[in-house]
Amino acid sequence: MKKLFLLFAAALLAATCPAGVFAQFKIGGKKIDAGKLLNAGKDVAKAVTLNDEEIARLSRESVEWMDANNPVAADSTTYGARLKRLTEGITDADGLPLNFKVYLVTDVNAFACGDGSIRVFAALMDLMDDDELMAIIGHEIGHVVHADTKHAMKNAYLASAARNAAGAAEGSALARLSESQLGKVVAAFTDAQFSQKQEYEADEHGFEFCVKHGFDPYGMANSLDKLVELSKGAKASTVQKMFSSHPDSEKRAARMKEKADAYMAVQRQNR
Ligand SMILES: [Zn+2]
């Protein structure tokens, strides 16, 4: 879903954040080719082992890097207060403690990191109503709960290690990453391409998350619909290329609508 969110960034630049600040995924002005990085990672995957503890540390460092390099909304701001209100009482996911922050950036995106950090971008909040936003947050948490993020993080680190960290390539413990290496890891995992199966399962999680926390069961379906609609708007040509890499978004939306319909039917029967 992340790619799908990102592709609206250009189209919405003028309409959303006045500051026009993009999230910092790029180092030294160079765009990171996440696909290439991830492929490079596969080559050294056998040579390097990263245990869960090391991945957890890498997750924490990555989020610290993101928080330090992006404008974080204070709780007193409109964005900060809205997210705080929506996530009140949502403290953990399967025992993993959660923390939430808004980045005041124009990218249409959100991500969840393996350490339980959820980061929502202001431009996404502009687009989505409360239920849709919480469905997307639930979807991102799903990637963490299902360990998709852990694997993406690992691949991203391995890719970075393949290029730079000789120590890691020898199979030693996790090397301390330099600032720029960490940036590359962050870029690769926040832009990770998950499989269709992983996206379906994250959608399910988004749906369950809404039901569990009292949000609209149609939130997941509606948010996916909204993204599909936006891709057909006036600026469609600018997003066409990236959107074509997500041909199944409409199918995902339909699937989530069916799920919500079934849920509502049961609710009506039980009444
Ligand atoms: Zn996803």
DSSP for the chain? -HHHHHTTHHHHTTTS-TT-PPP---BTTBPP-HHHHHHHHHHHTTT----HHHHHHHHHHHHHHHHHHS-BPPTTSHHHHHHHHHHTT--EETTEE-EEEEE--SS--EEE-TTSEEEEEHHHHHHS-HHHHHHHHHHHHHHHHTTHHHHHHHHHHHHHHHHT-HHHHTT-SPPPPPHHHHHHHHHHHHT----HHHHHHHHHHHHHHHHHTT--TTHHHHHHHHHHHHHTSTTHHHHHHHHTT-TTHHHHHHHHHHHHHHHHHHHHHT-
Name the more confident of 87 and 52.
Answer: 87
Q: pLDDT tens across 77-110, in order?
A: 999 999 999 999 999 998 999 999 999 988 778 8
Query: Ligand 1 centre from 203 Cα, in Å?
Result: 7
Q: Poorest-confidence range of 7-16, 51-60, 252-261?
A: 7-16
**Res. 33: pLDDT tops 90:** no
pLDDT, residue 74, reads 97
Token pair, residue 188, equals: 């690769």
pLDDT at position 215 is: 98
Tell how far the Cα of 84 is from the centroid of ligand 1, in angstroms.
Answer: 22
Overall average pLDDT of the 142-167 stretch: 70
Q: How far apart are CA 26 and CA 65, in angstroms?
A: 12
If one counts the domains in the chain, the total is 1
**Range of weakest confidence among 190-194, 218-222, 242-246, 259-263:** 242-246
* Mean pLDDT, range 117-137, rounded to an integer: 94
- The pTM of the whole model exceeds 0.85: no
71 DSSP β-pair partners: none
The predicted pLDDT at position 193 comes to: 75
**Per-chain residues with Cβ under 5 A from ion ligand 1:** 1, 199, 202
pLDDT confidence band for 271 (50 / 70 / 90): confident
pLDDT > 90 in the chain, percent: 37
- Catalytic-labelled residue, pool 132, 140, 199, 204: 140
Question: Higher pLDDT residue, 118 or 5?
Answer: 118
**Residue 19 banded pLDDT, cuts 50, 70, 90:** very low
The CA 114 to ligand 1 mean position distance, Å, reads: 14
- Domain range enclosing 199: 2-269
Q: Residue 216: what residue type?
A: D
Mean pLDDT of 151-168: 61
CA–centroid distance, residue 133 to ligand 1 (Å) = 13
Q: Is 179 a catalytic residue?
A: no
Q: What is the pLDDT of residue 263?
A: 97
